[in-house]
């Protein structure tokens, strides 16, 4: 066995009771993983490489470069010049953090409230939430509501209209309902109130679901552009709108002469914006990852 | 479910109060009082423009002259909504160009810049919300029932601009009559034009590759069979080279060769839709043959614009269709092809007749769009028009330099020949969409290379005389507005299928018959009524 | 165009559910004023509100959000019954009853779009849905922490790459001038144009979806797997159960509630396949195979500014989704699963 493979083996944490893996199985698994990783990384690599290439090289390579011959940071310089992208990035960060925190809070509260099976109006509240997953209001009515509330062209219009997703609500509720109820019964008998149980007992046991749902909300806010398009002027655009503007310019639908108005930005620039919007996610994800993967919370539920 | 609940929210009584069907009237532009054209004493162009609309050409930027003396605003604000093509600009407080322009204007301009894809949604949402800005772009598709909208919400500009009244706005007066025709609906001037160079052209061809097969220009091609031979010579898949490859097959080029009408053909008051003509079918059949014989890059009809541009720049494809405006400028084909490969040169495609006669191009790019003004009192309208007058400052003026290139020193520096050279921050500072609120007539200009200017100007002078206008461009048909795209979609889908070899020509003929039945005949009747009114 | 796609951007699957059976249900319950079974003490409505006041307070902010931003604007769906023009507004636009629906149902293009939508979602249910589960199980079975962490931090990334790029990548590989046809040609095999063959389109769309989103989908299942009680595995191993047996009897049942929940919730959006991915490739295969409901609405409604018909399609989608969700939930109960919500007939 090579040192490299031995190194990998060293990180193994096979429990005592588990059988030794068959070498054939190992090879198959490894092959599958290699293919999967390749499939995941190939487009990313292409995006990164293209963002570092010149337009000429891109054109000669049909639009996707893998190995840039003369890497250049020109694209990044262009988009960061003048600060539009930087400002948008910061705006997106703040909106994402604040939005995720608010969404999580509201979702957790409502989900917990709905865990009591005989809650007054419980079934009604749950149904009203579920219903919203199937029927959404149209663009114009939503716009009118936001306008009535005086939220047009304000950052609140990026957070409040999509504050809670019924999908995530159901998920969190389901998780809460499957925590060991005996713990909570015991605490009740000792005199603890509902809210206290939520804060002191339920939440600490729910790190996994909070991390996952938090990630979903976070990604949702980070990528959301529709509300920004509808409610904000372009001087308040988050990064997702800036990115979308670049990408849309490269794919007009139609062949009219008006289409020629568009000076298609270098694809390097389009790719560079994609990379820039990916970086925060790539940074944050590993931190969250340990909350919903094996090895951290095994046994935490018990006792 | 939800809908029933909604009805009760409104109360049964409200439904009976819902509006009466408003008259969706047909209308004609012909009898409006158009503004007089008062040419500006501008700098002399290197090649003069002509009366039938061939643009002037400049090899270098002329010495700037001032075209607007008095500031249009007096501390007031003008609001606007228009398209954003290109990146989002630097916001006002970080944008010296924006601040300089507002300083010259004497007030503020609040622009709601909307991505062109979203314009319909955002515009209509804004209208539903009830707050209209002073200036609104009509991109041609956002408002189906345009006459109703104009009459309800927009100002009739005829008293302020018609005839001699336009002399109060010299820059607007310099715009020739052909552009003002597009601003008329229901007999009144309702908007300002954003002029373009009349024709979008017939596409581009890689001249170097053409020379390799023995031609110096596409004008030397005799007829469609000769064309076929040339295309075949240009196709060599093993060398990664094809003759053709454009979004939607670049059919405009073919239609010019086969003399398909521009949307409608008018024969003494009788209208025929282009899809109903033999020329249209002939063009489609020809393209289908080309596709079948492998002269198009397979799958290229679904290319995004980026992909098409890449293919052309790298020399993979010899001929594409793209609008002529895409030729000049730093990202224009005139410069990008030689940049990728110094031996390559792009020139506009000059079409020939399929039968050896002349080709027929389309005057399909007269205006980019028009800009409407919200109903207001006369004083406010005059103020808005003064701002528009500033924005329509002609090429060669100080104001044009400011609007398109930014602030001297910060956004550009003048080189030895007096041409502005953009700095790094220019792109974001000048991205504010002033030119989509009001604009002068366009010129051909590229300081980097005289031959680019000559080539493009020569192309315009050949293409424009061959051009035909759309006889229904300034008419209004209610059915076309509310159903037009819907009933045309199956026809264009069928044409795509036929050319790609997925269907026979019979399918297209059926689709065309379907168009006629589902509204086409009604539209024709409405247009004829407007035409002969 | 539909804000459907926006509200579901935080899509993916729900979270962990332990292997333990759900807590005992205290008999039939009914939300409102009815009293409980005689086995419970009788409570009056006021008493129950007092007892539940904290819980209700926790529920109310969320409920208020739904009312303000969903239910009140939902009334705007009345557009489906109007010949709606934005500058006339709701009250002045002409009421047309079911005309918009009639026009839609009598349009053959609508049925083609509906058929394509169902074919694609059906195929995705069969081919796409299991993939994140399998992937999660595979990852879960990797013993080396380093390999596992590496793969986990990589596999979700394609989710964030826009469709334009994914389609371009596919073009590179499967497109007519791409790598795969080249290889096939060199091997002397018949040419296959994956991206322009109408019959293959649903498969193409599904493969692309797998490439882009399967990794992202594993997150939930990984979290669910984590909560399967490890002691059960140990006990089973001691009893002599092999790895496959353990998977069949412990792992799968352990994450089954999550799978069912996700399945039901996905059924609710069965008529939404996605706009951007399809519209980029619709012209390559033609509307016969490439038109789905969302693109139909765009090309046959929104382009002409027809807000009414677009709203009508939205309502139809919602109703179909509702029926499917209710039906699937009932079905889940029959199989002993809790589903999305438990009904009165639960165990």
CA of C106, closest CA in chain A: separation in Å? 23
Q: What is the mean pLDDT of chain B?
A: 87
A181-190, B125-134, B369-378: least confident range:
A181-190
Task: Classify the complex by whether its ipTM is higher than 0.85, answering yes or no.
Answer: no
Among B11, B299, B497, pick the best mutation site for testing chain C contact (most C Cβ within 10 A): B299
Same fold: B57-199+366-468 with B204-362: yes
Q: Are C13 and C215 in contact (CB under 8 A)?
A: no
Instruction: Let me know how long chain C is.
Output: 347
User: What pLDDT shows up at residue B30?
Assistant: 60
Q: What is the mean pLDDT of chain A?
A: 81
**Residue indicated by tokens 């493969």:** C207
Say yes or no to pLDDT of B62 above 70: yes
Instruction: Work out how many CB contacts closer than 8 A connect A with B.
Output: 167
Say yes or no to pLDDT of C62 above 90: yes
Q: What is the pLDDT of residues B252-274, one digit of tens each?
A: 999 999 999 999 999 998 999 99
Range of the domain at C248: 4-51+108-334
Q: What is the pLDDT of residues A17-42, one digit of tens each?
A: 777 777 888 888 889 999 989 888 88
The residue among B199, B168, B451, B177 whose CA lies nearest residue B332 is: B451
Cα atoms found within 13 Å of the Cα of residue C319, Cβ hemisphere only: 11
Q: Is C345 exposed, middle or buried (0-12, 13-18, 19+ CB in 10 A)?
A: exposed
Say yes or no to pLDDT of A117 above 70: yes
Domain ranges of chain A: 78-253+262-289
Instruction: Work out how many CB contacts closer than 8 A connect A with C.
Output: 356
Per-residue pLDDT band at B329 (split at 50, 70, 90) = confident
Judge whether B478 is closer than 8 Å to chain A, CB to CB.
no
Does residue C66 fall inside a structural domain? Answer: no
User: What pLDDT shows up at residue A5?
Assistant: 59
Among B131, B197, B305, pick the best mutation site for testing chain A contact (most A Cβ within 10 A): B305
CA of B260, closest CA in chain A: separation in Å? 16
CA dist A291 and B3 (Å) reads: 42
CA dist C249 and C232 (Å) reads: 10
User: What pLDDT shows up at residue C36?
Assistant: 47
- DSSP letters, C68-133, are IIIIHHHGGGGGGGEE--TTTHHHHSEE-TTHHHHHHHT-HHHHHHHHHHHHHHHHIIIIITHHHH
Among C177, C291, C321, pick the best mutation site for testing chain B contact (most B Cβ within 10 A): C177
User: What pLDDT shows up at residue C44?
Assistant: 81
User: What pLDDT shows up at residue A251?
Assistant: 58
B128 contacts in chain C (CB < 8 Å): 86-87, 89
Judge whether B86 is closer than 8 Å to chain A, CB to CB.
yes
CATH number assigned to the domain with residue range A78-253+262-289, chosen from the 4 options 3.65.10.10, 1.20.140.10, 3.40.50.1360, 1.10.3720.10? 1.10.3720.10
**DSSP code at position C233:** H
The chain B residue lying nearest C81, using CA atoms, is B3
What's the maximum distance between 2 C-alpha atoms anywhere in chain A?
76
Q: Of B3-17, B135-149, B392-406, which one has max mean pLDDT?
A: B392-406
- How far, rounded to the nearest angstrom, does the alpha carbon of residue A137 sit from its chain's CA centroid? 24
| Among C82, C307, C318, beta carbon nearest to B2 | C318
The chain B residue lying nearest C194, using CA atoms, is B299
Which residues are bridge partners to B53 per DSSP?
A: none
Helix, strand or coil, per DSSP, at residue C20: coil
Segment B42-56 mean pLDDT: 82
User: What pLDDT shows up at residue B511?
Assistant: 94
User: What pLDDT shows up at residue B5?
Assistant: 29
Per-residue pLDDT band at B21 (split at 50, 70, 90) = very low
Does residue C344 fall inside a structural domain? Answer: no
The chain A residue lying nearest B112, using CA atoms, is A233
B329 contacts in chain A (CB < 8 Å): 263
Architecture of domain B57-199+366-468: 3-Layer(aba) Sandwich (3.40)
Q: What is the mean pLDDT of chain C?
A: 78
C198 contacts in chain B (CB < 8 Å): 502
A292-301, B372-381, B433-442, B445-454: least confident range:
A292-301
CATH number, domain containing residue C248: 1.10.3720.10
> Span B204-362: which CATH code?
3.40.190.10
C59 contacts in chain A (CB < 8 Å): 109-110, 113-114, 119, 125
| Among C7, C26, C68, beta carbon nearest to A136 | C7
Say yes or no to pLDDT of C339 above 50: yes
| Among B144, B153, B248, beta carbon nearest to C305 | B144
Bigger pLDDT: C142 vs B388: B388
For chain C, what is the domain count? 1
User: What pLDDT shows up at residue B283?
Assistant: 95
Judge whether B268 is closer than 8 Å to chain A, CB to CB.
no
Domain ranges of chain B: 57-199+366-468, 204-362
Say yes or no to pLDDT of B388 above 90: yes
User: What pLDDT shows up at residue A8?
Assistant: 54
Q: What is the pLDDT of residues C222-243, one digit of tens each?
A: 888 877 777 888 888 888 888 8
Q: Are A133 and A191 in contact (CB under 8 A)?
A: no
A53-57, B18-22, B223-227, C196-200: least confident range:
B18-22
CA dist B326 and B200 (Å) reads: 10
């Amino acid at each position: 066995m090579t040192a490299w493979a031995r190194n990998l083996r060293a990180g193994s944490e096979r429990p005592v009771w588990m059988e030794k893996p068959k070498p054939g199985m190992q090879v198959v698994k490894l092959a599958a993983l290699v293919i999967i990783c390749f499939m995941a990384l190939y487009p990313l690599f292409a995006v990164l490489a293209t963002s570092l290439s010149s337009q000429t090289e891109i054109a000669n390579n049909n639009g996707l470069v893998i190995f840039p011959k003369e890497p250049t940071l020109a694209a990044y310089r262009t988009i960061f010049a003048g600060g539009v992208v930087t400002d948008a990035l910061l705006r997106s960060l703040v909106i994402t953090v604040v939005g995720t925190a608010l969404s999580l809070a509201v979702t957790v509260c409502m989900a917990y409230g709905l865990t009591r099976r005989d809650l007054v109006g419980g079934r009604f509240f749950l149904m009203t939430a579920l219903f919203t997953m199937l029927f959404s209001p149209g663009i114009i009515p939503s716009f009118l509501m936001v306008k009535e509330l005086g939220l047009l062209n304000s950052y609140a219009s990026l957070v409040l209209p999509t504050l809670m997703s019924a999908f995530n609500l159901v998920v969190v509720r389901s998780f809460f309902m499957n925590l060991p109820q005996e713990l909570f019964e015991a605490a009740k008998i000792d005199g603890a109130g509902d809210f206290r149980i939520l804060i002191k007992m339920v939440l600490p046991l729910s790190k996994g679901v909070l991390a996952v749902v938090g990630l979903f909300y976070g990604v949702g806010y980070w990528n959301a552009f529709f509300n920004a398009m509808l409610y904000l002027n372009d001087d308040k655009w988050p990064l997702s709108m800036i990115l979308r503007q670049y990408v849309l310019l490269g794919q007009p639908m139609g062949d009219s002469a008006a289409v020629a108005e568009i000076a298609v930005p270098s694809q390097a620039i389009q790719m560079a914006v994609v990379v820039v919007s990916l970086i925060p996610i790539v940074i944050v994800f590993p931190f969250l990852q340990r909350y919903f993967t094996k090895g951290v919370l095994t046994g935490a539920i018990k006792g | 479910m939800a809908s029933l609940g909604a009805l009760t929210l409104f109360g049964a009584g409200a439904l009976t109060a819902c509006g009466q069907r408003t008259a969706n009237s047909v209308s004609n532009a012909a009898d409006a009082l158009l503004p007089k054209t008062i040419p500006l004493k501008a700098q002399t162009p290197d090649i003069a423009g002509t009366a039938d609309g061939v643009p002037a050409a400049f090899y270098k930027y002329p010495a700037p002259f001032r075209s607007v003396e008095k500031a249009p605003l007096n501390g007031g604000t003008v609001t606007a909504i228009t398209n954003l093509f290109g990146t989002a600009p630097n916001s006002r407080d970080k944008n010296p160009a924006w601040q300089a322009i507002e300083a010259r204007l004497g007030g503020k301009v609040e622009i709601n810049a909307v991505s062109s894809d979203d314009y319909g949604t955002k515009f209509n949402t804004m209208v539903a919300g009830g707050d209209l800005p002073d200036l609104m772009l009509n991109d041609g598709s956002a408002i189906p029932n345009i006459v109703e909208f104009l009459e309800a919400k927009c100002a009739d500009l005829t008293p302020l601009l018609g005839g001699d009244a336009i002399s109060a706005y010299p820059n607007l007066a310099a715009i020739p009559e052909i552009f003002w025709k597009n601003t008329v609906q229901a007999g009144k001037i309702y908007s300002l034009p954003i002029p373009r160079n009349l024709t979008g052209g017939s596409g581009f061809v890689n001249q170097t590759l053409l020379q390799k097969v023995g031609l110096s220009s596409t004008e030397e091609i005799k007829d469609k069979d000769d064309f076929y031979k040339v295309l075949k010579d240009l196709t060599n898949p093993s060398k990664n080279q094809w003759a053709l490859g454009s979004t939607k097959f670049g059919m405009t080029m073919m239609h010019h060769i086969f003399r398909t009408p521009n949307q409608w053909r008018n024969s003494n008051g009788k209208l025929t839709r282009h899809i109903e003509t033999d020329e249209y079918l002939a063009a489609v059949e020809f393209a289908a043959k080309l596709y079948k014989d492998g002269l198009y890059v397979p799958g290229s009809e679904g290319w995004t614009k980026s992909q098409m541009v890449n293919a052309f720049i790298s020399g993979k494809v010899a001929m594409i269709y793209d609008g002529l405006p895409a030729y000049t400028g730093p990202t224009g084909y005139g410069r990008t092809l030689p940049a990728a490969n110094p031996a390559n040169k792009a020139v506009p495609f000059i079409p020939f007749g399929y039968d050896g006669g002349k080709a027929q191009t389309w005057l399909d790019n007269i205006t980019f769009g028009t800009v409407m003004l919200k109903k207001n009192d006369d004083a406010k309208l005059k103020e808005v028009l003064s701002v528009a007058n500033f924005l329509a400052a002609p090429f060669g003026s100080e104001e044009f330099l400011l609007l398109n290139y930014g602030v001297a020193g910060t956004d550009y520096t003048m080189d030895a020949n007096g041409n502005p050279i953009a700095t790094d921050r220019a792109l974001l500072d000048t991205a504010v969409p002033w030119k989509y609120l009001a604009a002068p007539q366009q010129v051909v200009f590229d300081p980097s290379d005289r031959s680019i200017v000559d080539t493009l100007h020569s192309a315009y002078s050949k293409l424009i005389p061959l051009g035909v206008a759309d006889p229904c461009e300034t008419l209004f048909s209610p059915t076309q507005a509310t159903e037009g795209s819907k009933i045309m979609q199956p026809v264009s889908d069928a044409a795509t299928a036929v050319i790609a070899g997925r269907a026979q020509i019979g399918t297209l003929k059926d689709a065309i018959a379907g168009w006629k039945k589902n509204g086409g005949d009604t539209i024709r009747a409405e247009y004829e009524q407007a035409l002969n009114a | 165009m539909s804000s459907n796609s926006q509200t579901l951007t935080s899509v993916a699957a729900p979270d962990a559910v332990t292997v333990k059976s759900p807590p005992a249900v205290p008999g039939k319950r009914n939300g409102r004023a009815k009293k409980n079974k005689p086995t419970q003490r009788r409570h009056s409505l006021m008493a129950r509100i007092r007892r539940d006041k904290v819980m209700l307070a926790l529920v109310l902010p969320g409920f208020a959000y739904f009312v303000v931003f969903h239910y009140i604007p939902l009334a705007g769906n009345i557009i489906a019954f109007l010949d709606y023009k934005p500058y006339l507004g709701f009250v002045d636009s002409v009421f047309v009853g079911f005309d918009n629906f009639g026009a839609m149902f009598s349009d053959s293009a609508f049925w083609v779009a509906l058929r394509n939508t169902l074919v694609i979602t059906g195929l995705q249910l069969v081919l796409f849905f299991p993939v994140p589960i399998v992937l999660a199980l595979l990852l879960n079975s990797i013993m080396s922490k380093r390999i596992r962490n590496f793969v986990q931090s990589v596999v979700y990334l394609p989710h964030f790459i826009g469709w334009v790029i994914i389609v371009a990548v596919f073009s590179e590989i499967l497109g007519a001038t791409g790598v795969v046809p080249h290889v096939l040609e060199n091997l002397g095999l018949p040419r296959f144009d994956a991206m322009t063959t109408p019959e293959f389109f649903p498969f193409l769309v599904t493969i692309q979806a797998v490439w882009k989103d399967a990794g992202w989908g594993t997150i939930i299942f990984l979290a669910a797997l984590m909560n399967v009680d490890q002691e059960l595995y140990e006990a089973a191993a001691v009893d002599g159960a092999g790895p496959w047996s353990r998977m069949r009897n412990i792992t799968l049942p352990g994450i089954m509630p999550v799978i069912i929940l996700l399945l039901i919730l996905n059924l609710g959006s069965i008529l939404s396949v996605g706009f951007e991915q399809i519209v980029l490739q619709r012209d390559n295969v033609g509307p016969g195979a490439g038109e789905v409901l969302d693109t139909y609405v765009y090309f046959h409604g929104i382009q002409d500014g027809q807000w009414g018909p677009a709203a009508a399609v939205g309502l139809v989608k919602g109703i179909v989704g509702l029926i499917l969700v209710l039906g699937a939930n009932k079905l889940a109960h029959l199989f002993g699963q809790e589903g999305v919500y438990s009904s009165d007939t639960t165990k």
